[in-house]
Amino acid sequence: MRAELGSPMHDLHYTGPERVMVAAVGTRPLGPNNLSMFSFFWFFTRTFDSHPMPHQLEGFKLASTSGIRSRFMLFAILIALCVGILSQFWALISIPYRLGALHEMSRVPIIYGAEPWTQLQKWLAHPLAPDYWALGFTGIGLLFALFLMLMRMKFFWFPFHPAAYATVCGSWAVNYIWFSLGIVWVLKLLLLKYGGRNAHRKAMPFFLGLILGQFTVGSLWTILGMVFNIPTYGIWP
């Protein structure tokens, strides 16, 4: 999705295998053991925006372009992975005890922590029958995505992409970035139409600089807030 569409987010909410299987056969044939196992993997299958692969592959591509050895990048990613996992567990345990999980923290960890077990309780207490309507619409979406893919393979001029169809339908982040993506799409269209490929390549550093500037400023505001213990502007809604 990142390679084909270029979207900065690759989240697909509530499309994990547990949702598909429950809709296909219901909860009774799956049994309590399988339903409990699904709940333990809810942190990963809830939105699919936790995939590290897009970021890792982009890191290797940047390393290759700038002349950095792939082995060095591999060790850097592994170190970041270990440090990130340990520091995240420490933060999620330490901060709620120090500040209070319900009053001084974001509500997101509380919601995410309770979601899988609330869902599991509903599955066990009130078993669900197969959802044939959901399966039917899933089949329609599959057929339409295949149609878009075949059209793009057959006709070069066809403007609609199956990855964009999936992202717009299931991505929460698109609610916040659709206008920015629309502006970029229009600007890219104008550059390619009136300036050609050379104008597009010359303009790329400018737009990359805008992205880098936004995240740099947003990071600095966050760091200042942590250092001086004051609320600051946040770039994430």
Say if residue 187 is in the same domain as residue 150: no
Q: Which of 152, 172, 192 is the last residue of a domain?
A: 172
Say if residue 47 is in the same domain as residue 137: yes
Say if residue 201 is in the same domain as residue 143: no
Say if residue 84 is in the same domain as residue 188: no
Average pLDDT over residues 125-152: 92
Say if residue 159 is in the same domain as residue 204: no
Say if residue 79 is in the same domain as residue 144: yes
| Range of weakest confidence among 9-13, 81-85, 152-156, 194-198 | 9-13
Confidence of residue 15 (pLDDT cuts 50, 70, 90): confident
Say if residue 58 is in the same domain as residue 158: yes
Say if residue 75 is in the same domain as residue 183: no
pLDDT in tens, 77-129: 999 989 998 998 888 888 888 877 777 677 777 788 889 999 999 999 999 99
Average pLDDT over residues 171-176: 77
> CA 187 to CA 227: how far, in whole Å?
39
Q: Which of 143, 172, 201 is the last residue of a domain?
A: 172
> Based on the structure, what is the number of domains in the chain?
2
Q: Which of 131, 147, 172 is the last residue of a domain?
A: 172
Compute the residue count for the chain: 237
Q: Which residues contact 64 (CB under 8 A, 6 or more apart)?
A: 70
Say if residue 127 is in the same domain as residue 163: yes
Report field, pTM of the whole predicted structure over 0.75 = no
Say if residue 103 is in the same domain as residue 43: yes
CA nearest 106: which of 116, 117, 119, 92? Answer: 92
Say if residue 99 is in the same domain as residue 161: yes
Say if residue 100 is in the same domain as residue 216: no
Per-residue DSSP letters for 72-96? HHHHHHHHHHHHHHHHHHHHHHHHH
pLDDT in tens, 203-220: 999 988 988 888 888 888
> Which string of b and e fits 5-24 if b means at least 16 CB within 10 Å?
bebebbbbeebbebbebbbe
Range of the domain at 181: 177-237
